[in-house]
Chain A
Amino acid sequence: MSALSLSGVGKVFNPGSDQEVRAVHGIDLEVGRGEFVSVIGPSGCGKSTLLRLIGDLTPPSAGTVSVNGKTPARARLDRDYGMVFQSATLLDWRKVAANVELPLEIMGMGEAERSRQAAAMLDLVQLGRFAGHYPWQLSGGMQQRVAIARALAFKPSILLMDEPFGALDEMTRERMQAELLRIRAETGTTVVFVTHSIPEAVFLSTRVVIMSSRPGTITEVVDIDLPEPRSYETREDRRFFDLLTKVREGLRAVEAS
């Protein structure tokens, strides 16, 4: 059973009105356990919508989504998803540790276990020292790491990330990418990752999904057969550059059409 299975999935916003938008259309995609799939495409092509369909934040207009063999709604209630968005969206009245504990509180975990788990997650993103800080005392990159720790807190089987590093500077971004790969290696979480950066998609992923706009649909899937574990050297690998070119050409074909 794959972690994610989409068949014929489409989404129309405001159907029938003059503001009708066909956001995504005819999406077929299988994602295996532990895979890291990036979705890349021109802005407005429906990447976020695709992620929201998977995460049960919006219902599909057509087709079926199945998550670990369940409906997205069931998967959400079973807390199969961890979500990270472009903005960290930490609650500013809660300290860092309390932010990470929030999902655990909501699932009804006891206080002692909760704080143990939050501490472990903060160690995972190497922010253990900042447990007692308030979010506004942290840099943007650190806040985003807290958001990742929070998303991983209840050990979701799928991590949905929508341009999580989009607001970070290049140096921080590369550090965060390395960190994310390390975390994934430790947790075995399946990741669906939306980005508009070609190097980011190639460096992180096992597969890159290229989407076109109007209607948003998958035009090409590129297998990324770079050696694991990825490291600083990966970015200097010939194969890395070949794959960058391949994805870039795929995107250019989309934008030309």
Chain B
Amino acid sequence: MSPNTRRVLSVLGILAVLVAVWEGYKWMGTATGGVWPGTGVELPVRTNERSMPHTWDVVIALLRPARRGGDMLLLVLLKAALFTWRSALLGFVLGSAVGFGLGVLFVRSALAERGLMPHVVASQTVPILAIAPILVVWAGRLNVTRWLVVAVVSAYLAFFPVAINTLRGLRSPDATASELMRSYAATPNQVLWKLQVPAALPYLFPALKIAATASIIGAIVGELPASMPDGLGRAILNFAAAFSAAPAKLFASILVASLVGIGFVGVVVLAERMLIPPSRRLEDLEAAGPRGRDLKEVVA
């Protein structure tokens, strides 16, 4: 069996287990009337159709019209996803470029790193939910198309992992390599492009994977204060409001949103496969730093 077949099978296997757990829990709750078997202790989550629709009902909901006489829910969600993805893609590109630029700036100037790094870190502790409306209002004055504003919110989340890992990667060549470059009388730009950037590429891709998912989240959250009617953000909000009446629809939109994220990460993984030979690919945990390496040892 090829490693790829094995990977697909294991993903499908785990999906099957999750479905089985969901359905098993639901079946048990229905059988016992909502308590742990043999006890009077209530289950943490109710198992009725309102709280936990059958997995197949979620799939069926996807194939039914979203509203009477309208398009199939799947189609509606995919359209919304495509719309959101446009902002997310721009946010991803923008955020990655800014992150990369910051990494380069920091490796060049210790002063810039000391001065800016705390702000960069702080930027990520501010809830995006608070940042998004501010950006939307500011941009509203400037008469910028709203989906571009959403892209900026998305970039706000995407730039951070890229900046951190770019810096790590640019610093990764050992001192001897830098001294060799010095002995060749290389200019700072030559050191950057011939030594530091190529050395940073393996560190960059794990960050881009994180940035890809972050940019989707940023776009979905950004759509809410921008009151964009067409994206996944609005769709999720609508289905959340109607959750108790039609729970399967909310689960269906979660499913689609996560598929979009997975698809986006998949594109990055493909790019990594094409650009980085296997011998230079970093395990994601390793690229996450010393803590990641510890984790890896625990896992192994």
Instruction: State whether the Cβ of A126 lies closer than 8 Å to any Cβ in chain B.
Output: no
Interchain CB contact under 8 A, B194 and A77: no
Given contacts A57-B183, A79-B184, A106-B190, 15 further A-B contacts (CB under 8 A): A55-B183, A57-B182, A76-B182, A76-B185, A79-B185, A82-B183, A83-B180, A83-B183, A87-B174, A89-B176, A93-B199, A102-B194, A105-B194, A106-B185, A134-B277
B277 / chain A contacts, CB cutoff of 8 Å:
93, 134
Which listed residue (A82, A83, A134) contacts B179, Cβ 8 A? A83
A51-71 CB mask vs B (1 if < 8 Å, else 0) is 000011100000000000000
Interchain CB contact under 8 A, B182 and A85: no
Q: In A197-218, which residues have CB < 8 Å from any B CB?
A: none
Q: Nearest CB to that of A73 among chain B residues?
A: B185
Q: Nearest CB to that of B177 among chain A residues?
A: A89
Q: Compute the total of residue contacts between A and B using a CB distance below 8 Å.
A: 51
Interchain CB contact under 8 A, B184 and A102: yes
Q: Once bound together, how far apart are the Cα atoms of A223 and B196, in whole Å?
A: 43
Instruction: State whether the Cβ of B125 lies closer than 8 Å to any Cβ in chain A.
Output: no
Q: Once bound together, how far apart are the Cα atoms of A154 and B190, in whole Å?
A: 17
- A–B pairs, 17, beta carbons within 8 Å: A57-B183, A76-B182, A76-B183, A76-B185, A82-B183, A89-B180, A91-B195, A92-B279, A93-B201, A93-B277, A93-B280, A102-B184, A103-B184, A106-B181, A106-B184, A106-B190, A107-B184
Interchain CB contact under 8 A, A106 and B177: no
A76 / chain B contacts, CB cutoff of 8 Å:
182-183, 185
Interchain CB contact under 8 A, A91 and B179: no
Q: In B110-129, which residues have CB < 8 Å from any A CB?
A: none
From residue B163, how far is it (CB to closest CB) to chain A in Å?
22
Q: Once bound together, how far apart are the Cα atoms of A61 and B48, in whole Å?
A: 81
B interface residues (Cβ-Cβ under 8 A, vs A) = 174, 176-177, 179-186, 190, 194-195, 198-199, 201, 277, 279-280
Q: In A69-114, which residues have CB < 8 Å from any B CB?
A: 76-77, 79, 81-83, 85, 87, 89, 91-93, 102-103, 105-107
Interchain CB contact under 8 A, A57 and B184: no
Q: In A99-147, which residues have CB < 8 Å from any B CB?
A: 102-103, 105-107, 134, 136
Q: Once bound together, how far apart are the Cα atoms of A56 and B184, in whole Å?
A: 11
Interchain CB contact under 8 A, A91 and B183: no
Dominant SS among interface residues on chain A = loop
Q: Nearest CB to that of B201 among chain A residues?
A: A93
Interchain CB contact under 8 A, A134 and B279: yes
From residue A52, how far is it (CB to closest CB) to chain B in Å?
8
Q: Once bound together, how far apart are the Cα atoms of A76 and B199, in whole Å?
A: 25
Q: Once bound together, how far apart are the Cα atoms of A85 and B176, in whole Å?
A: 8
Q: Nearest CB to that of B279 among chain A residues?
A: A136
Interchain CB contact under 8 A, B177 and A91: yes
Residue in B176, B199, B277 with the greatest tally of chain A CB atoms within 10 Å = B176
Q: Once bound together, how far apart are the Cα atoms of A106 and B184, in whole Å?
A: 7
B194 / chain A contacts, CB cutoff of 8 Å:
102, 105-106
A87 / chain B contacts, CB cutoff of 8 Å:
174, 176
B199 / chain A contacts, CB cutoff of 8 Å:
91, 93
B201 / chain A contacts, CB cutoff of 8 Å:
93
The 8 closest A-B pairs by CB, nearest first: A103-B184, A89-B176, A106-B184, A106-B186, A83-B183, A77-B185, A93-B198, A85-B176
Interchain CB contact under 8 A, A57 and B279: no
B176 / chain A contacts, CB cutoff of 8 Å:
85, 87, 89
A134 / chain B contacts, CB cutoff of 8 Å:
277, 279
Q: Once bound together, how far apart are the Cα atoms of A134 and B277, in whole Å?
A: 11
Q: Once bound together, how far apart are the Cα atoms of A58 and B265, in whole Å?
A: 45
From residue A69, how far is it (CB to closest CB) to chain B in Å?
18
From residue A145, how far is it (CB to closest CB) to chain B in Å?
16
B185 / chain A contacts, CB cutoff of 8 Å:
76-77, 79, 106-107
